[in-house]
Every structure is written in C-alpha cells, then in structure tokens.
Amino acid sequence: MIDKYNWYEKLAIYAGMLVFLTFILAPFVEAFVVSLRPLDQVFRVPYRFITDDMSFSAYVTMWESVPRLGRYIFNSFFISCCVTLLALSCIIPAAYSFSRFSYKGRDGLLGTFLAINMVGSAVLIIPMYKLMLNLGLLNSYFAMVLPGAAFSVPTGIFLMRSYFLRIPKELEEAAHVDGASRIYTLWRVILPVALPGIMVVAITTFISAYAQQFLFALIFNSNSDLHPLPMGLYEFFGRQRIIWNELMAASLVGITPVLLVYIFLQRYIVAGLTAGAVKE
Amino acid sequence: MQRKIDYFPYLMLVPALALVMTIVAWPLIETFRLSFTNASMRRTVDYVGFKNYIEIFEDDFAEVIVRTFVWMFFGVTIKLVMGTLGAVLLNAAVPGRSLFRVLVMPPWIVPIAIGVFMWSWMYNGQFGMISGLGQRLGLLDGPFEFLAYGSSAFIATIVTDVWIGTPLVALYLLAAMQSIPKELYEAAWTDGASRFYRFRRVTLPLIAPSIATMALLSAIWTFNSFEIIWILTEGGPRGSTTTMIIDTYKTGLARFRYGEGAARAVMILVFLSAFAALYVALLVRLTRRNGAQS
C-alpha cells in the first residue's frame, strides 16, 4: 500500500523525529534538571546530567524568592484574556464588513491592515511610550492590553474574513426576507455558524498575546504587581546572583497552564493555520 | 436614481480602525516627525532637518544593516529547511505521530522571553548543557562561554531564533501538505514513482506557494525580532549581535535619543515596506494563478 513504509524508511522517520524532538525539548529538559539541583550543585564542574542529590526543594523555596509568582501567572492570563476579548470585538465586525459588503475604499482599507501587520511593535516603541504617557496609561493593565490587541487585530481580520467568506450568502438573504435587522442577522444567524472560526481566531490571538507580553511590560509598566510572567521573571533574571534552580522551577510552573490549554485546544490551532493566515 | 450611501459596513469597521489607528498608525506618523527632531530627555525640541539621517550613516549603520540581513538570512533559511523536514516527518503515517505533533509545538506556545531564559542557561560556559556535553564528547577543550565571543554569540542567537520559529513553519507547511489531494499521490504511486520522486515531483511543487509565503512572513518576523537578542546579549559583545531593531532600541530608549532612534526606526520601516510590497505582489500572483486553474 501507498502508506506502507519499509523498515529502513520507518527507521529514518523515527530517527528524524528523535533528532527534531531533541532540539525542541532540550531546553525544557535542561531547565527541569537544573530546577531539581541544589543551588551549590547547579554550579558544578564538570557537567553532569544526573546527580544523586536532586530534589524538588526549589519548587518549594521559589514561592519565597518570587513571592508574586502566582500573581505573575494570573497577570499573564488576565492580560491575554483581555487582549483576546478586545481584539475579537474589533475583529468580528470588521471582518464581517470586509467579507460581506462591497463599498468604496474597502480594498484600500484591507490593504492598510495588511501593511500594518508587517510593522513589529519594537519599531514603534518610542512614540507608543509617549502615547501611553499622554493617555496616562503607563503602569496599568491598559498599557499592555491595548497594544497587544492592536497588533493582533490585522491578522485576526484576515483569518476571520476567510471564515465569513465560506458561509453561504443565502443564509443572510433568508434572514433579510424574514425581516431581520442586519445586526440581528450577524448576531443570531452568522455568529453561531461562524463559531468554530471564532474559536480559532480567539485561540491564536490568545497564544500570540501570551507569547509576546514581554516588550510592552518592559517599557510601559514598572509596577511589579501588574507584571506578566516573562517580565516578572526577567527582573529576577537581571540580578547579580541568579538563583538558577528557582528561576527554572518558576519558569516551568509558570508555563504549565498555557501548555495545558494548548494540549486541550490544539486541534483548533492546527485548523487556524490551515485557514491560511498565521501569526508568530 | 441616486442610491443612498450605506453606512452600515463603515460603522462595523469603527472599533478596529479606532484601535489600530491610535495604537499603531499614530505612532507610525509620529516616528516620521520625531526623526527630523533632536528630541531627547531635554524639554526643548527643535527640528533639525536631515541631520539624524546623515549622522546615522556616519556611524557604523551600514554594518548594522548588513549584520541584520545576514542574521535574517541564516535564521529564515534554517527555519524553512528544518520546517519542511519537520512537516514531512509530521505528515508521515506512522504510530506515535500525534504525540510527535503535540511535542513539537511548545517553543511557539511558551512566552518567547521564557524560552530565551532557558537558552541563556544552555549557553552558559561553566555549567550549561552545550558546553558540558561538548567537553564530555571531546569537542571542546574546556568551558566555552558561547555568549562572550562575537561569532559564537551571533550563531547562538540564530539557533534560539530557529528554535522559536521552526515549529510554526513546520505546522504551516504540514497544513499545506495535507491539502494536497490524495489522488495525485495514488496516481504517481500506480506509475511506480518512488517515495522520494513523489515528494520531489508532487509535494514540493504543490507546497511551493506556501513555502514562498512562509519565507516572506518569516523574514518579516525575524527582521522585527527583539526579545531573543535583547535577553541573550543586549546586542553585544561589542555590538556583534546588534541588529537594526536592537540598534534602534539602544539609541532611542536606552540612551534616550528619541530623534536619532526615530530616524533609525524610519530606516527599518523603509525595509519593511519593501517586504510588504513583495508580500502583496506574491499574494496577488498566487490568487491569480489559483483563479486561472479553477
């Protein structure tokens, strides 16, 4: 059969997977190993992978060294959730407008969104700082949520638009004949049908917002209580003497929630990529 | 008969436009304005014409541009090659495939900064895994501090960038491979084509548009990349990992020379608009070709 592999083909595939996974997972494995060592044993020469004095004590002591760890994890989730909600409330109507109506300036506007998508947040950070300063939003959740959402709106519009385009127009025409208003049609007829697409956009927005909180927090926020996880740990990382075992333990505990979310929702993520629009 | 203008579709755009115009478009325009000023920590701001632009090129800016493109070239090329190989492996119908798919994605899922923290430990010369294993295997004579030397730091930042970027490329190309109709493979198979031949003559040509799209997107993301280099080396040692983004950040925010930083940002925007033009041209071509086929 076509999908049948010889033994040497199978060997090559599994060997390839092994090499690939070694590269991908090595930093996680190393972080885990470091987190299990007592600090004086972390700095040991020559290098040893497994030693006999390993323990989970760093997972206990890290809550004292990083007292706000729980807060950081919460902040990361909270910021990403707000970004996702705000972005969706911009994306859905805009994508609906772009996919269902033809009007003057539509393609130009769509092109503008596409072009804005190319600009990375780091390039604009100086005037964005001034903007946040003038709006009085520095050191607040807003300073991290608003830019996060703004930079994910263009990609979201493209992704959502491609879903709306697949929904047959007859659906709206039928609603229109029945005398439904257009807002009602969008809310009660189109959105339920587009729900899988909305899920995909929501999850990809959430993940990219979660992955990219560092810069906005670094520049716009100096209130430790509001820091998302990466920024909270970065402060810890910048100290003279880095407590590596606890930093690695805190990193691993900190990323566990998002990894669980990913494992449960991964089929939506794959579907999102298949739809043709992606975001790093 | 004159038709009334329908405002509904415009109204639907208002939230998205308001947000993007305020947070992205206004700073974009402000960057251009600032680039002609000597804005800094001082209170007074004067327009200085093209002074900032002239000064950029008196610095080692040309070197920074070249370095940025070398960094981007290696990063993107390796990501594409590894991503394509990864997609082939992810697509192989063998037991354990779904587990493999789950395990490949974490670098993309975890916050970029946290992945980079882990790598900075890996690169540690005294106690890190790479130096340690290198010594054990006899590849290194003694502890090697990867981030302390220009060329090894440059390579190290590329490796970390590849680590973060490859999963997405692989998954995207996997999606492209799975959209290829099975009949094509069956036809080739019936004709006695080998697996490699089928890959070269069926898979590759059909995913070529996706590879091109991903190459451009990946180039743009890599070009804009900030966190990886900043956390690992802050652009050092002695500027050897300073890309355009890092240079702009250092000038504008670390040294508070907003005007000069803005001029550098404008240079980045010039390159980005070239990428954007390429991307749009590619999309138009692909759409047209698809249209011609159907």
Single-letter residue type at B205: P
Residue to mutate among B7, B21, B24, with most A CBs inside 10 A, is B24
Residue to substitute from B8, B10, B12, B14, interface A, most A β-carbons within 10 A: B12
Grade residue B128 by pLDDT with cuts at 50, 70 and 90.
confident
| Residue-wise pLDDT tens digits, A104-145 | 888 888 888 888 888 888 888 888 988 998 889 889 999 999
Same domain for A107 and A153, yes or no, is: yes
Q: Do A280 and B34 touch (CB under 8 A)?
A: no
Q: Say if the Cβ atoms of B223 and A120 lie within 8 Å.
A: yes
CA-closest candidate to residue B108, choices A257, A279, A155: A279
* A230 shares its domain with A251: yes
Binning pLDDT at 50, 70 and 90, where does residue B294 land?
Answer: very low
Cα gap A129→A272, rounded to integer Å:
32
Which pLDDT value is given to residue A87? 95
What's the distance, CA A239 to chain centroid? 27
Which of B151, B107, B234 is CA-nearest to residue A31?
A: B107
Same domain for A19 and A156?
no
pLDDT for the residue numbered B44 = 75
Nearest Cα of chain B lies from the Cα of A108 at a distance, in angstroms, of: 12
- Between positions 57 and 76 of A, the ones with CB within 8 A of B are 76
| Domain range for A45 | 7-55
Please answer yes or no on whether B13 and A254 come within 8 Å at the CB atom: no
Whether A216 is covered by a domain: the verdict is yes
CATH of the domain at A100: 1.10.3720.10
Contact A156, A201 (CB under 8 A): yes
Is the distance from CB of A101 to CB of B9 less than 8 angstroms? yes
Taking a C-beta distance cutoff of 8 angstroms, is the pair B118, A28 a contact?
Answer: yes
* Residue A258 within a domain: yes
With respect to residue A235, please indicate whether it lies within any of the assigned structural domains.
yes
Buried b (16+ CB within 10 A) or exposed e, B148-168: eeeebbbebbbbbbbbbbbbb
Q: Where are the domains of chain B?
A: 8-293
Q: Does residue A62 lie in a domain region?
A: no
- Rounded to whole angstroms, the Cα distance separating B41 from B216 reads 38
B185 vs A contacts (CB less than 8 Å) = 2
pLDDT exceeds cutoff 70 at B140: yes
Question: Residue A6 has what pLDDT?
Answer: 81
Using a pLDDT cut of 90, give the percent of chain B over it. 18
Other C-beta atoms closer than 10 Å to the C-beta of A216 total 24
Question: Looking at residue A75, what is its pLDDT?
Answer: 92
Look at the block and give the residue holding tokens 């506007």: A109
Whether residues A91 and B245 touch (CB distance < 8 A) is answered with no
Three-state DSSP class for residue A138: coil
- Whether residues A24 and B107 touch (CB distance < 8 A) is answered with yes
Percentage of chain A beyond pLDDT 90 is 15
Nearest to B276 among A115, A130, A254 (CB): A115
Which tokens sit at A21?
């996974």
- Which chain A residue shows the shortest CA-CA distance from B216? A118
DSSP A195-263: HHHHHHHHHHHHHHHHHT-HHHHHHH---GGG--HHHHHHHHHTSSS--HHHHHHHHHHHHHHHHHHHH
What gap in Å lies between CA A32 and CA A99, rounded to an integer? 47
CATH superfamily of the B8-293 domain: MetI-like (1.10.3720.10)
Task: Say if CB A120 and CB A192 are below 8 A apart.
Answer: no
User: If we measure between CA atoms, which residue out of A68, A213, A120, A161 comes closest to residue B9?
Assistant: A161
Q: Is residue A105 situated within a structural domain?
A: yes
Nearest to B118 by CA among A74, A51, A70, A33: A33
Top mean pLDDT of A85-89, B124-128, B178-182 is at A85-89
Query: Half-sphere exposure (CA, 13 Å, Cβ side) for B138?
Result: 0
Residue B36, pLDDT score = 86
pLDDT score of A276 more than 60? no
Task: Identify the burial level of B21 via C-beta atoms within 10 angstroms of its C-beta, where 0-12 means exposed, 13-18 middle and 19 or more buried.
Answer: middle
Q: What is the 3-state secondary structure (H, E, C) of chain B?
A: CCCCCCCHHHHHHHHHHHHHHHHHHHHHHHHHHHCCECCCCCCCCCECCCHHHHHHHHCCHHHHHHHHHHHHHHHHHHHHHHHHHHHHHHHCCCCCHHHHHHHHCHHHHCCHHHHHHHHHHHCCCCCCHHHHHHHHCCCCCCCCCHHHCHHHHHHHHHHHHHHHHHHHHHHHHHHHHHCCCHHHHHHHHHCCCCHHHHHHHHHHHHHHHHHHHHHHHHHHHHHCCCHHHHHHCCCCCCCCCCCHHHHHHHHHHHCCCHHHHHHHHHHHHHHHHHHHHHHHHHHHHHHHHHHHHC
Residue A275 pLDDT > 90? no
Q: How many domains does chain A have?
A: 2
Q: Which of A53, A64, A62 is nearest to A252 (CA)?
A: A62
State residue B77's pLDDT score.
95
| Same domain? A103 vs A45 | no
Is the pLDDT confidence value at A38 over 80?
no
How many residues are recorded in chain A? 280
Instruction: Give the model's pLDDT for residue A279.
Output: 40
Helix (H, G, I), strand (E, B) or coil at A120: coil
Which amino acid appears at position B257 of this protein? R
Asked if B287 and B225 count as a contact pair (C-beta separation under 8 A), the reply is no
Tell whether A42 and A135 lie within a shared domain. no
Does residue A271 surpass a pLDDT of 70? no
| Segment B92-111, tens digit of pLDDT | 878 888 888 888 888 988 89
Predicted local confidence at residue A245, as pLDDT: 82
User: In this predicted model, which residue has the larger pLDDT, B130 or A2?
Assistant: B130
- Two tokens, residue A163: 């879903």
Mutation target among B8, B117, B269 for the A interface, most CBs of A within 10 A: B117
Band of the pLDDT at A86, cuts 50, 70, 90? very high
Q: Contact A163/A275 with Cβ under 8 angstroms?
A: yes
Contact A5, B94 (CB under 8 A): yes
Residue A195 has pLDDT above 60, yes or no: yes
Say if residues B217 and B280 touch (Cβ distance below 8 Å).
no
Across the interface, whether the CB atoms of A125 and B31 are under 8 A apart is answered: no
What is the interface pTM, i.e. ipTM, of the complex?
Answer: 0.84
CB B39 within 8 Å of CB B250: no
Q: State whether A20 and A137 are in the same domain.
A: no
Q: What is the average pLDDT score of chain B? A: 84
CA distance A224 to chain B (A): 17
- Please state the φ and ψ torsions of residue B37, each to the nearest 5 degrees: -120, 170
Q: Is the pLDDT of residue B293 over 60?
A: no
Give the closest-approach CA distance of B31 to chain A in angstroms.
Answer: 6
Q: Cα-atom radius of gyration of chain A, to the nearest Å?
A: 24
Banded pLDDT at A89 (limits 50, 70, 90): very high
Please indicate, yes or no, whether residues A145 and A24 belong to a single structural domain of this protein. Answer: no
**What are A133's two structure tokens?**
């300063």
User: Could you tell me if A147 lies within 8 Å of chain B, comparing CB atoms?
Assistant: yes
The two structure tokens encoding residue B243? 């890309």
Q: What angle do helix axes B26-34 and B258-293 make, rounded to 10 degrees?
A: 130
Task: Report the residue count for chain B.
Answer: 294
**Do A157 and A253 share a structural domain?**
yes
Ranked by mean pLDDT, the top range of A20-34, A181-195, B124-138 is: A20-34
Whether pLDDT at B292 is above 60 = no
